[in-house]
Amino acid sequence: MVKRWAVVLLLCPLSACMVFEPSGPPGDADPAVFETPEERIQPARDQSAAVAVKEAAVDRAVVQGVKKTSEPVAAPGMTPGKETGKAPDTVAESTLGPGVQQHSRSGQLFVGGKDPADRLCEEVGSRLGSVSIQECRRQGLRHSAYTILNRSLAYKDYPPLATRQPLGRVLLIGGIHGDEFSSVSVVFKWMEILNRHHSGMFYWRFIPASNPDGLLKSKAQRQNHNGVDLNRNFPSRDWETDAHAHWLEVAHQNPRRDPGPAQASEPETRWLVEQIEAFQPDVIISVHAPHHLVDYDGPPEAPDKLGRLRLHRLGVYPGSLGNYAGIDLDLPVVTVELQSAGIMPTVQEIDQMWRDLIGWLRRQLTEVPRTAASEESPLTP
């Protein structure tokens, strides 16, 4: 392990090492993930106070997240400046030859045109400081539908392996809010881990960028191209009665929280609903920033921590994913709120969150003894 670190540090520039270093094996087969010490669940705060804190923190962080003029000061345990602008070492990748782009990496056939998921990777890799075009491309994202601006809504599956019955299906969603850059980048980093360590314990579907129009606007924005907050647009049971009233009276018509003209009025929302219906997940993980906590809706038991993030329930809003899937569909929905929208967690923190997530998922979904699961793993020595 020491040698591995040394080689990596010698071969790549500092910025690239921070992002791409091949960390230890925190795959979903790593027995170490089952040995996380229990931590106390923090008591829930007063709901209205928590919401006020949330709104204020979002606005502060968005200013930080899109600021490109200077390197932000990193909080303890964080890597500074990774999402505030494109790093020079990755800009050069936009000149990759056309041969790289002509075949769909997901195996889909696109007659007379380029794979929309590949086009998405060019834009995402050019926008994010921590994800290169090449890293996005090598995931082989599968194009599925279009946004308003004809960008790809794409996913990647890690299907069951022949050697193992998965414990469950997990849908992992990044970037519902377009200005939360880290929520897209961290999902790519977790995909990189799974690329190396997928053991078949879970059947995964990853949607790294669920609001590409918001992410890729010249000034990234929380909402989609229509100005709708997708996380207030889900067809929850209370949308018709409560969504607009909540927006008027609680959100004071803040455009960043506009629930839209009708429930599921937006193509991105409808597509995510279709993904839930088609994939039938047992658990949904949705990554956001910057509240530095884990929020949770639905049954049965919340994860008390993911890395440095601690459980802190914020409640649900009309039209939120937590409301629609967690309450109405009775699905566990874990909302991972990273510490900053514009600053990446350290590699170690990204790994630790992953380990904690896998440990929690396994506890939620397992029906077999631990030792049996570990013995089944192809990665267990």
Contact residues: Zn ion, CB under 5 A: 177, 180, 288
Torsions phi, psi of 183, nearest 5? Answer: -70, -20
In the complex, what is the shortest distance from the CB of residue 66 to Zn ion, in angstroms, rounded to a whole number? 14
Burial of residue 46, with CB atoms counted within 10 A of its CB: 0-12 exposed, 13-18 middle, 19 or more buried: exposed
CA angle 301, 338, 149 (to 5 degrees): 105
In the complex, what is the shortest distance from the CB of residue 97 to Zn ion, in angstroms, rounded to a whole number? 37
Which is closer to Zn ion, CB of 147 or CB of 286?
A: 286
Do 266 and 226 touch, CB atoms closer than 8 A? yes
In the complex, what is the shortest distance from the CB of residue 65 to Zn ion, in angstroms, rounded to a whole number? 11
What residue type is 364 in one-letter code?
A: Q
In the complex, what is the shortest distance from the CB of residue 288 to Zn ion, in angstroms, rounded to a whole number? 3
Which is closer to Zn ion, CB of 203 or CB of 234?
A: 234
Give the tokens for residue 46.
């007063």
- Which residue in the block uniquely carries the two structure tokens 């961290």? 186
Give the tokens for residue 331.
């699905």
Q: Say if residue 300 is preceded by a cis peptide, omega within 30 of 0.
A: yes
In the complex, what is the shortest distance from the CB of residue 28 to Zn ion, in angstroms, rounded to a whole number? 25
- Which residue in the block uniquely carries the two structure tokens 């191209």? 225
In the complex, what is the shortest distance from the CB of residue 285 to Zn ion, in angstroms, rounded to a whole number? 13
Q: What is the DSSP letter of 241?
A: I
Which is closer to Zn ion, CB of 18 or CB of 228?
A: 228
Which is closer to Zn ion, CB of 177 or CB of 362?
A: 177
- CB atoms under 10 Å from CB of 76, counted, come to 7
Taking the C-alpha atoms of residue 57 and residue 180, their distance in angstroms, rounded to an integer, is 12
Which is closer to Zn ion, CB of 28 or CB of 180?
A: 180
SS3 38: coil
Closest CA to 258 of 296, 288, 231: 231
Do 194 and 137 touch, CB atoms closer than 8 A? no
Which is closer to Zn ion, CB of 177 or CB of 308?
A: 177
In the complex, what is the shortest distance from the CB of residue 67 to Zn ion, in angstroms, rounded to a whole number? 18
- HSE toward the beta carbon, residue 4, CA cutoff 13 A: 7
In the complex, what is the shortest distance from the CB of residue 177 to Zn ion, in angstroms, rounded to a whole number? 4
In the complex, what is the shortest distance from the CB of residue 220 to Zn ion, in angstroms, rounded to a whole number? 12
In the complex, what is the shortest distance from the CB of residue 287 to Zn ion, in angstroms, rounded to a whole number? 9
Which is closer to Zn ion, CB of 18 or CB of 311?
A: 311
Taking the C-alpha atoms of residue 297 and residue 138, their distance in angstroms, rounded to an integer, is 33
Residues 6+ positions from 63 with CB-CB distance below 8 Å: none
Which is closer to Zn ion, CB of 177 or CB of 313?
A: 177
Which is closer to Zn ion, CB of 87 or CB of 353?
A: 353
Which is closer to Zn ion, CB of 180 or CB of 266?
A: 180
Taking the C-alpha atoms of residue 111 and residue 95, their distance in angstroms, rounded to an integer, is 24
Sign of CA dihedral 364, 367, 371, 374: negative
Taking the C-alpha atoms of residue 307 and residue 304, their distance in angstroms, rounded to an integer, is 10
- HSE toward the beta carbon, residue 258, CA cutoff 13 A: 15
